Structure 1
Amino acid sequence: MFFHMIELTLQNRMNEVKKLYESLSLIGSLSLAISLPWIIYKALHLQRSLNNLFGKVVVITGASSGLGEALAHEFYMKGCQVVLCARRRQELDRVRTDLMHSHSTVQTHPPIIIPLDLADLDNLVENLKKIITVTGKVDILINNGGVSHRGNVLSTNIDVDMKIMMVNYFGTVALTKAVLPDMVKRNEGHIVFISSVQGLIALPERSAYSASKHAVQAFGDSLRAEVADNNISVSVISPGYIQTNLSLNALTGSGDSYGQMDDSTKSGYTPEYVAKKIVKAVAQKKKEMIISSMLPKIAIFLRKYLPSLYFFAMARRAKKSSLK
């Protein structure tokens, strides 16, 4: 009798487990039936969006190296007419040659080179006119050019702050304002600002750079609202650390070149990875995107919802840095 009761109990438990398994299987099947079409739809939508880039005129600043060069490759592979802009003509020639040799089967126009200096505000309008004279229009402007900063506030000369703001903010704004009238006239266009995670969270010893990127973020948000009725998209992209020469070319407090590759930069994303993510965001006309590891995203969350904890963490970081 006793063993019979145990057998019945075990049998009941087995039946309960079986029913639970069947219910979970049903839920899983329903979830798959619902999610699979959605995944397929999103994939097809993304591919259509990427296909729509074909033939677009894309102007890229800072195209002579790093992320700008990687973006040039990605847009060129999508069949865009790429306009390469930067100060160094020789490097732009190299990038142009690499594009044509690496993607010789791509059906598009040869890349165009327009040397320009974002700090030279007086000539930006003329450079933009040259581009439109050659291409007839600008469909997408990628504001990627910029310079970084390494140094604390106390030891950073004000002319360094001004130079970084001139390139990263005023040069970007001036070029954007130069291209806008034609976009408004045609009732279409896309302005892309390559900002930084440091435009969302300011780090110690990055005051000038963070301030310039904060400004770009705000300008982009204002512009997006103002041109919404003109069918002009505005995207603000905020990458984290990328394996480029940004830290090598960063300005110190005295205005000299920093000349060092930060460990955080060494361990960052590759330019090619970030470029692919940006091109997808541009194709989908996303208003903003953060491309970073989890730690910066946590810091952004803390800055917004637990600011006291964020301020404490940054003070600890500043103290640790000053002890080196």
Structure 2
Amino acid sequence: MSSTILITGASSGLGEGMAREFAARGNNLALCARRTERLDALKTELVASHPDLTVSVRALDVDNHSQVFDVFRAFRDDFGTIDRIIVNAGVGMGRPLGTGQFDANRQTAETNFVSALAQMEAAMEIFRAQNHGHLVTVSSVSAVRGMPSNITTYGATKAGLAALSEGLRVELTRTKSPIRVTTLYPGYINTAINEKVKNKPFAVDVRTGCKAMVNAIESGKKESYVPRWPWTPIGFLLKRLPVPVLAKMF
């Protein structure tokens, strides 16, 4: 039986790649992003390749928080139920603190944390009413420790997102809710968000990275580094390395 999966930020990068992978696995899709022309092209491609699936698209700027709730509810009305919601939309425009680029850091913080919170709120509203659903949040390996320079604010927002996800997971476990929460910690996957990053160890292409992400989502694990190798052991080490060692690495 096919599931219905809602993905934000689906017009490019990881969202677009996951949409292709989920469609190949027989899932109906609710796709949203700001760039509707890219969404329409993706829908045309997916429907042509998978004519038995239903693909619905809507414009969404996640920084418009009331629109987040409207779009999620509209997708729910389209399909009758939403089985999985992937909080994927984000930006990577952070800059070193104190260099006169507060606006870039503020935008990163607002989009990656406050707007992610809005998406989680809207998702949980639907899942609580249904009494089922799977919420997936896309954090980052950079959330594991405080990171320097351009990654400082970005990593902090992803750490906040991971904490929100864990707190929700604790609540749902305590109340024995059937709703599930998964947090993904991607390593370097070659998308536009990190195209200006010069040092990207162990980077993989979008198709490889998104296949690993979808495998992790469907594995049932609460938290996953993706791709699993080598980011699982790297994540383990990052949590434990002394700050002077981290300073030499970045």
**TM-score scaled by length of structure 1:** 0.71
| Structure 1 pair 221–120 and aligned structure 2 pair: CA distance change class (3 A) | same
Residue correspondence of structure 1 range 138-177 to structure 2 within 5 A: 138-155=82-99, 157-177=101-121
Residue type of the partner of 1:238?
Y
2:246 matched to which residue of 1?
Answer: 314
User: CA–CA distance in 2 between the matches of 1:115 and 1:130?
Assistant: 11
Shift >4 Å, 4+ stretches: 292-299
Task: Assess if the C-alpha contact under 8 Å between 2:216 and 2:226 holds in 1.
Answer: no
2:169 to 221, 224, 242: 224
Q: Say which SS state the counterpart of residue 200 (structure 2) adopts.
A: helix
| Structure 1 pair 180–293 and aligned structure 2 pair: CA distance change class (3 A) | closer
2:123 matched to which residue of 1?
Answer: 179
* 1:136-183 deviation line (CA, Å, top 9, x unaligned): 121100111110135311215333222112111111111111121221
Task: Assess if the C-alpha contact under 8 Å between 2:31 and 2:57 holds in 1.
Answer: yes
Residue correspondence of structure 1 range 225-244 to structure 2 within 5 A: 225-228=170-173, 229-244=176-191
Task: Assess if the C-alpha contact under 8 Å between 1:201 and 1:299 holds in 2.
Answer: no
Say how many residue pairs are matched.
247
Task: Assess if the C-alpha contact under 8 Å between 2:32 and 2:58 holds in 1.
Answer: yes
- Give the CA deviation at 1:282: 2.1
**Identity percentage of aligned residues:** 27
Residue correspondence of structure 1 range 46-65 to structure 2 within 5 A: 54-65=1-12
Unaligned residue ranges in structure 1 (runs of 5+): 1-53, 249-259, 319-324
1:84 to 31, 35, 38: 31
1:300 has 2:235 as partner: yes
| Structure 1 pair 162–107 and aligned structure 2 pair: CA distance change class (3 A) | same
1:137 to 59, 81, 84: 81
Larger Rg: 1
2:200 matched to which residue of 1?
Answer: 264
1:35 matched to which residue of 2?
Answer: none
User: CA–CA distance in 2 between the matches of 1:284 and 1:298?
Assistant: 19
User: CA–CA distance in 1 between the matches of 2:227 and 2:23?
Assistant: 25
- Give the CA deviation at 1:292: 4.4
2:221 matched to which residue of 1?
Answer: 286
For the aligned residues, what is the CA RMSD? 2.1
* 1:200-223 deviation line (CA, Å, top 9, x unaligned): 133222111001100011001001
Unaligned residue ranges in structure 2 (runs of 5+): none
1:255 matched to which residue of 2?
Answer: none
2:68 matched to which residue of 1?
Answer: 124
